[in-house]
């Protein structure tokens, strides 16, 4: 009975965490639209925010690995709550002008929004986002168990190696901000020229 109650509590924790994550990301993306004035600024700010998010994903396994070594892994949640409190204070102190975001034109109907599904680009974008989400979540939930069961690594090291994946994503996000200054053709030709001949 106690194990069932614990499993229910864990499910509730994950449900609240997932809901909070979705609301937070939607709020951040909406706020970027209020801050950015040009399309280039929007893209740059979006990549920086995504990079900061991935750095948080990188720091998360490091924090929990360190806390597991100390034997107080539950204390990590207090540190996360403190960081969230700082973020809330910064958000409250930020001045946002949402008057420009209020549209004076007629809102599109559901039929017009449904026309988007006739575009193959929308399907590719939706499929790519779904596959990336499945890959990231699957990788994060599978890799620590694989390291622990197959390589027989301690739990703290198994979680620590997960940060390599998040670090690679963070590097790609921040390099995208830099590479956005160049033409895609220049990047492709430079990459092709640096590939060694077999």
Residues 6-55 pLDDT 10s: 677 777 877 887 788 778 888 888 888 787 778 878 878 887 887 777 77
Please, which pLDDT band fits residue 58 given cuts at 50, 70 and 90?
Answer: confident
* 4-11 LR contacts (CB < 8 Å, sep 24+): none
Does some domain include residue 130?
yes
Range of the domain at 57: 36-99+116-193
Q: How many domains does the chain have?
A: 1
CA 15, CA 2: separation in Å to the nearest integer? 20
Gyration radius of the chain's alpha carbons:
21
Mean pLDDT within 99-128 = 74
Does some domain include residue 92?
yes
Note the pTM of the prediction, 2 decimals. 0.56
Identify whether the C-beta of residue 177 lies closer than 8 Å to the C-beta of residue 47. Answer: yes
Does some domain include residue 31?
no
Does some domain include residue 62?
yes
User: What pLDDT does 101 receive?
Assistant: 60
Identify whether the C-beta of residue 32 lies closer than 8 Å to the C-beta of residue 42. Answer: yes
User: What pLDDT does 1 receive?
Assistant: 47
Does some domain include residue 17?
no
Tens digits of residue pLDDT in 114-172: 777 888 888 898 888 888 777 777 777 777 777 778 888 887 777 777 777 777 777 87
Does some domain include residue 5?
no
Q: How many CB atoms lie within 10 A of CB 162?
A: 23
Q: Is the pLDDT of residue 4 over 60?
A: no
Does some domain include residue 84?
yes
Distances (CA, A) of 116 to 104, 109, 110: 22, 12, 10
CA 170, CA 58: separation in Å to the nearest integer? 8
Does some domain include residue 13?
no
């Amino acid at each position: 009975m106690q194990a069932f109650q614990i499993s229910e509590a864990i499910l509730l924790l994950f449900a609240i965490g997932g809901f909070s994550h979705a609301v937070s990301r939607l709020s951040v993306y909406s706020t970027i639209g209020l801050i950015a004035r040009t399309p280039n600024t929007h893209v740059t700010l979006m990549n920086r925010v995504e990079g900061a998010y991935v750095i948080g994903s990188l720091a998360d396994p490091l924090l929990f690995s360190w806390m597991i070594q100390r034997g107080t892994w539950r204390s990590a949640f207090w540190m996360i709550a403190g960081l969230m409190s700082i973020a809330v204070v910064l958000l409250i102190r930020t001045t946002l002008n949402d008057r420009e975001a209020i549209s004076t034109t007629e809102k599109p109907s559901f039929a017009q929004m449904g026309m988007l599904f006739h575009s193959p680009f929308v399907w590719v974008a939706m499929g790519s986002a779904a596959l990336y989400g499945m890959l990231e979540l699957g990788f994060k939930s599978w890799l620590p168990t694989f390291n622990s069961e197959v390589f027989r690594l301690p739990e703290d090291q198994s979680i620590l190696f997960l940060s390599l994946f998040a670090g690679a994503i963070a590097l790609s996000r921040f390099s995208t901000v830099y590479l956005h200054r160049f033409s895609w053709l220049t990047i492709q030709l430079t990459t092709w020229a640096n590939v060694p001949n077999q």
